[in-house]
Amino acid sequence: MRKLKNEELNRKTLAEFKRSRKIPITIVLDNVRSALNVGSIFRISDAFMIEEVILCGITASPPNKDIRKVALGSTLSVKWRKYNETLNAIIDLKNKGYHIVGVEQTEGSTDLKKFNPVKLPIAIIFGHEVNGVSQKVINKCDEVLEIAQYGTKHSLNISVSAGITIWEITKKLIN
């Protein structure tokens, strides 16, 4: 096997990306404190052709050196906007017909592997690194997904959770 060179990967140009049909998923970040995590989520969103990233509350927004360091230019390809309050973003998304899905450990959560993304478009909410998705936001969700974990810790880094969740849902939507 030979490692492919960048020019052999047939990546879209920025203009092609912006014109391309996106996966009907919007990512909502509920008070994410680390700009590095935000940058990583932009990069994941670019990789999976996500519609939009919504940054809420204390979540850092571009231009930001830590976001830029990890995002590698994806803040230019992925559409984004900022809300002061996560609940306002959710209200706007619900009014546009989005199925609101939190990623958190709750009573009655759905195992990510069993989630069937039939109600489109979807808004997926990820929360603060320590406190997770706030309870007031959970109360507005149509559904809550949980990533099964088997070790001694009960949480994953938000960018890891986003990668796993987006991969799993996108895989189901494409198949």
pLDDT mean over 114-137? 96
How many alpha carbons lie under 13 Å from residue 175 in its C-beta half-sphere?
Answer: 8
pLDDT at 175: 80
Q: How confident is the model at residue 154 (pLDDT cuts 50, 70, 90)?
A: confident
CA distance 153 to 138: 22
| Cα torsion through 86, 94, 126, 109, rounded to 10 | 130
Count H helices and E strands in the chain, helices first: 7, 7
pLDDT mean over 63-74? 97
Query: Mutual orientation of helices 158-174 and 35-47 as an angle, nearest 10°?
Result: 10
pTM recorded for the entire structure? 0.96
pLDDT at 4: 96
pLDDT mean over 131-157? 95
- Is it the case that residue 65 has pLDDT exceeding 90? yes
Label the pairing between strands 23-30 and 110-111.
unpaired
pLDDT mean over 95-118? 97
Which CATH superfamily does the domain covering 21-174 fall into?
A: SPOUT methyltransferase, trefoil knot domain (3.40.1280.10)
| pLDDT averaged over every residue in the chain | 97
Sign of CA dihedral 92, 89, 94, 122: positive
Domains in the chain: boundaries: 21-174
Which amino acid, residue 98? Y
Q: How far is CA 72 from the centre of its chain?
A: 17
pLDDT at 16: 96
pLDDT mean over 68-74? 97
